[in-house]
Amino acid sequence: MTDRQKRQIEAMRRKGCSYAEISDELELSPNTVKSYCQRSRGGSEGDVCRNCGEPIMQNHGAKQKNFCSNHCRQDWWNHNRNQINHRDRRTAICDCCGQAFEVHGKRKQRFCSQECYADWRRGG
Ligand SMILES: [Zn+2]
Ligand SMILES: [Zn+2]
């Protein structure tokens, strides 16, 4: 493995790429990528920040952390929100006009638009 490949692996890990994605991209075997990642950070999988790639101090017995700080968690969610919304997309029926519309995420949404909400509030 060249130094260039090592740097690329580290960069891609920081972006949250999986071993498979990295091995595809760099034309290395997944095992090579995996063992390099584990050796280079000297820990088990999952104990680096998903956002910045810094090692995370895990508390034993506590829930495993994915981010080194709240700041990184926020950052990561900001960048990944679009993908996540995509997966959680579903259809709801507007309480006002009865039309189907798309809802993102888990929040409850009863109206297809601000206009329908306003209409409904007015008792229409
Ligand atoms: Zn971080
Ligand atoms: Zn509506």
Residue tagged 């009865």 (tokens): 98
Of 12, 49, 56, the C-alpha closest to 30 is 12
pLDDT in tens, 76-119: 988 887 665 566 778 899 999 999 998 877 778 899 999 999 99
pLDDT of res. 87: 65
Mean model confidence pLDDT for the chain: 83
Query: Among 51-55, 59-63, 73-77, 120-124, which is the least confidently predicted range?
Result: 59-63
Give 101 Cα–ligand 2 centroid separation in angstroms.
8
Is 123's pLDDT higher than 50? yes
Its pTM surpasses 0.75? no
Residues by chain with Cβ below 5 Å of ion ligand 2: 94, 96-97, 112, 116
Give counts: helices (H), strands (E), the chain.
Answer: 5, 2
The DSSP symbol for 112 reads S
User: Which backbone phi and psi does 100 adopt, to 5 degrees?
Assistant: -75, 140
Nearest of 79, 78, 54, 85 to residue 67 by alpha carbon = 54
Considering every ligand atom shown, identify the ligand nearest to the alpha carbon of residue 57 and give its number: 1
| Residue 43 predicted with pLDDT over 50 | no
> Above 80 in pLDDT, residue 42?
no
Contact 50, 66 (CB under 8 A): yes
Domain boundaries, the chain: 3-85, 88-121
Beta strand 100-103 pairing with 90-93: antiparallel
- Nearest 5 degrees, angle CA 34-CA 37-CA 42? 120
Residue position matching structure tokens 């999988």: 45
| pLDDT value at 63 more than 80 | no
Q: Note the pLDDT of residue 61.
A: 73
